Amino acid sequence: MKKSLLIALMITALLGVFAVSMVSAADAPGDGLEMKYPADGAKYAPIMFNHSTHAAQKCEDCHHKTAESKDMKCTTCHADTSKEGKKKADGYYQAFHSKAEQSCNGCHKTAKKGPTKCNDCHTKK
């Protein structure tokens, strides 16, 4: 009796682990996600980001604050588009261009994969 209860509990726990990982993978939105400059005076057209071509990366590689916040939008924190904010680690510009692994350009340069030139990612409005 006790043994079967233990086994039942173990199975439930295992299923729980599977359910959690499946939910997070399914949570990634479809391709062509529009990333739009959150202020006036954008130089370029919005960037279309694809999760499918980044399936080899872990969610946390980019969504690096998921331990403290469930918010998946970079711009919730990286909101500073001011001239002074351009150099700040939590400013808008650095999130996508810094040398760090979580930034588009940083990761592409280190991995030697993915676009790294301005015009590979950006098109004029």
What is the footprint of ligand HEC within residues 33-92 (CB under 6 A)?
33, 35, 37, 42-44, 46-47, 49-51, 53-54, 57, 59, 61-65, 69, 71-78, 89-90
Own/partner pairs, 62-69, CB within 8 angstroms, 24+ separation: 62/102, 64/102
Kindly state the smallest distance separating residue 13's Cβ from ligand HEC, in Å: 22
∠ CA 26-102-67, nearest 5°, is 60
9 interacts with ligand HEC by CB under 6 A = no
Q: Distances in Å between the alpha carbon of 113 and those of 12, 35, 53, 60, 110?
A: 41, 21, 11, 19, 8
- Count of C-beta atoms within a 10 Å radius of residue 85: 15
Q: Give the footprint of ligand HEC on this chain (CB under 6 A).
A: 24-25, 27-29, 33, 35, 37, 42-44, 46-47, 49-51, 53-54, 57, 59, 61-65, 69, 71-78, 89-90, 94-98, 100-105, 107-108, 111, 113-118, 120-122
